[in-house]
Amino acid sequence: MKSFDIPDYYRSSIVTPLKEFRRKRDKLKRDFTPTVLDFGPIRFYIARHFGFCYGVENAVEIAYKAIAENPDKRIFLLSEMIHNPDVNADLQDRGVRFITDTSGQQLTPWSSLTPDDVVIIPAFGTTLETQQQLASIGLDVAKYDTTCPFVEKVWNKASQIGQKNYTVVVHGKPSHEETRATFSHSKEAAPTVVVKNMAQAQRLAGYITGELPSEQFYGEFAGQYSDGFDPARDLQRIGVVNQTTMLASDTQGIADYLKQVMVQKYNLAHASDQSTAKHPELVETYFANTRDTLCYATNDNQDATYALLDYPADLAIVAGGYNSSNTSHIVELCAEKLPTYFIESERKILSDSLIRHFDTHKKQEVVTENFLTQLEGDKPDKEPSRPVTVLLTCGASCPDAVVEGILLRLVSFFPGARPIDEVMSLYQD
C-alpha cells in the first residue's frame, strides 16, 4: 500500500514502530490479537488496527501540500478535513479557514471567495451542489480534493445500481458530511432515501410492503429522500449502500433485513420451488448486491476492537474527535463490556483520579472521579496488588502521537513502572 508524507509530529516513536512491527509479521492482516505493553503495575492491550487509515493519510498529505504550494494565497477547507481537533487546529494555525462547519452552516460567505483562492475538499467528499457553487466562482475543485477513495467507491456503486433501476437506500447519519455527500451523488442516478438505523429500516419496510400509507412516509423521512420520491413506485427494487464510518455489522444487518423483506414481499423463497440460496439471481431482481461498499479500514478497526474485548481489563480508553462517527462506534462496542472513557487527548486525563471524557448519550463532556484508583482499592502511588489493565485504541482520524501521549500519561502515575525501552524491546527487529 502507498506510503504518505505526513508531518512527523503526528507520528509516534512508540506507536508507529509497534504498528510496523505487527504489519511485517501479519501482511495479510489475519491476526487481530492486540499488542501487549506490560509496564508491571499497569498493562495495556492495544488494538491490532487503529489510527490513520489510507483515506485520512491521503487527506493529510494533500492538505499540507496545498499549504506548502500556496504560501501567498488564502486557503480554505470546505469543513473539517477529518474529525480530529488536533489536526484541524494545526491547519487553522497555519492560516487555513473553514467555509462551513460540520453541520453545513456557512462560516465564510461564498461571495467572499475569489478564483485566486485555494479550496481543499475534505476526506468525506462534498455534495454536487457545493461542487457547482465552487465551480461557478472559478475555483479548481479537483486540485486539492482529498475525498477518500472508499467514499467514492460508495458513490460509484450507488450510481451503478441506480442505472439498473434500483432505488438507493443509504445507511448513515443524515446530518453527517459523508452521508450528505453520498445522498447528493446518489440522487443524481436514482431515487434515494437515507435510513439512520435499524429502527428506521423497519419503518421503511412498512412502506415497501404497503402496510404503511405512502403519504405518511414524507413526514417520517422528512429531509431524507430525494425530490419526487414516491414510496409506492420507488421501493419495488432497492439496494443498500453505507456511510463508510458506520458499524459494518449494523449496515450488514440492515441490508440483510431489507433483503428478507423483499424476499417475503415477492415470495422469492418459493418461486418455482427454487431456493434463493441456489438461485440468488431471483433475489437480485429486486435487491442489489452491494456488499463491496463496506470500508476496509472501518471493518479492520471494528474487528480489532471485537478481538480486543476478548481480553479481561479494568477499563478502556478510546481516543478521537468527539464528532468522529467511526470512533463513536468503537466507543459503543467497548462501553457494552467495561468502563470506557472517550477522550480527545492526554490533556483530558486531569490526574491519577480525574478524567474528563465525552458521554455519547449526554453529548457532552463529563468528569469521572477515581477512574484508576477505584480498582480494588489500589492507588497508583502505591504498589498495586495486581496490574491495572487498560484497553487502548482510537478512531481512524486520530494521530499515533495522541495515543502515545495517553499511554505515557497513564504510565506516569505508576512510579514502579518499567522503562519504556525495556517494554518496547520485545517489539524490535
Structural domain includes residue 1: no
Q: State the CB neighbour count (10 A cutoff) for residue 381.
A: 11
Q: Does residue 173 share a domain with residue 252?
A: yes
Rounded distance between C-alpha atoms, residue 22 and residue 17, angstroms: 9
Name which residue leads in pLDDT, 137 or 268: 137
Q: Does residue 379 share a domain with residue 285?
A: no
Structural domain includes residue 142: no
Look at residue 382 in the predicted model and tell me its pLDDT: 53
Terminal alpha carbon distance of the chain? 21
Q: Does residue 160 share a domain with residue 127?
A: no
Structural domain includes residue 300: yes
The grid coordinates listed for 47 are: 488494538
Name the pTM for this structure. Answer: 0.87
Structural domain includes residue 115: yes
CATH code assigned at 111 = 3.40.50.11270
Q: pLDDT category, 272, cuts 50, 70, 90?
A: very low
Q: Does residue 423 share a domain with residue 304?
A: yes
Structural domain includes residue 84: yes
Look at residue 274 in the predicted model and tell me its pLDDT: 46
CA 107, distance to chain mean position in Å, is 24
Answer with the one of 234, 259, 293 that is the final residue of a domain: 293
Q: Does residue 124 share a domain with residue 25?
A: no
Cα dihedral sign, 269-273-276-281: negative
Structural domain includes residue 223: yes
CATH code assigned at 219 = 3.40.1010.20
Nearest to 126 by CA among 108, 107, 144: 144
Give the mean pLDDT of the chain: 91
Using CA atoms, how far residue 320 sits from 165, 195, 316, 342, 426, in Å, is 39, 25, 13, 7, 27
Least confident of 15-19, 68-72, 211-215, 382-386: 382-386
Confirm if 397 and 52 have CB atoms less than 8 A apart: yes
Q: Is the predicted pLDDT of residue 380 greater than 80, yes or no?
A: no
Rounded distance between C-alpha atoms, residue 84 and residue 138, angstroms: 30
Whats the size of the chain, residue-wise?
429
Q: Does residue 280 share a domain with residue 405?
A: no
Look at residue 3 in the predicted model and tell me its pLDDT: 76
Answer with the one of 113, 137, 161 that is the final residue of a domain: 137
H helices present in 169-238, as ranges: 177-186, 198-209, 214-220, 231-234
Q: Does residue 157 share a domain with residue 117?
A: no
Element (H, E) at 366: strand 364-369
Name which residue leads in pLDDT, 192 or 3: 192
The arithmetic mean of pLDDT across residues 79-102, rounded, is: 91
Using CA atoms, how far residue 175 sits from 76, 118, 289, 415, in Å, is 21, 26, 26, 46
Range of the domain at 380: 8-53+296-427
Least confident of 9-18, 243-252, 254-263, 314-323: 243-252
Which residue type does 106 have? Q
Q: Is the predicted pLDDT of residue 376 greater than 90, yes or no?
A: no
pLDDT digits 0-9 by tens, 29-76: 899 999 999 999 999 999 999 999 999 999 999 999 999 999 999 999
Structural domain includes residue 222: yes
Q: Does residue 348 share a domain with residue 300?
A: yes
Rounded distance between C-alpha atoms, residue 137 and residue 327, angstroms: 35
The grid coordinates listed for 123 are: 476526506
pLDDT digits 0-9 by tens, 275-308: 544 456 678 899 998 876 777 888 899 999 999 9
Q: Does residue 400 share a domain with residue 303?
A: yes
Confirm if 368 and 354 have CB atoms less than 8 A apart: yes
Q: Does residue 315 share a domain with residue 393?
A: yes
Among the listed residues 177, 178, 344, 346, the single catalytic one is 178
pLDDT digits 0-9 by tens, 102-126: 878 899 999 999 999 999 999 999 9
The count of structural domains within the chain is 3
Q: Does residue 278 share a domain with residue 313?
A: no
Structural domain includes residue 384: yes
Rounded distance between C-alpha atoms, residue 274 and residue 290, angstroms: 23
Beta bridge partners of 141: none
Q: Does residue 216 share a domain with residue 112?
A: no
pLDDT digits 0-9 by tens, 300-347: 999 999 999 999 999 999 999 999 989 999 999 999 999 999 999 999
Known active-site residue 422: no
Answer with the one of 110, 137, 164 that is the final residue of a domain: 137
Rounded distance between C-alpha atoms, residue 241 and residue 155, angstroms: 9
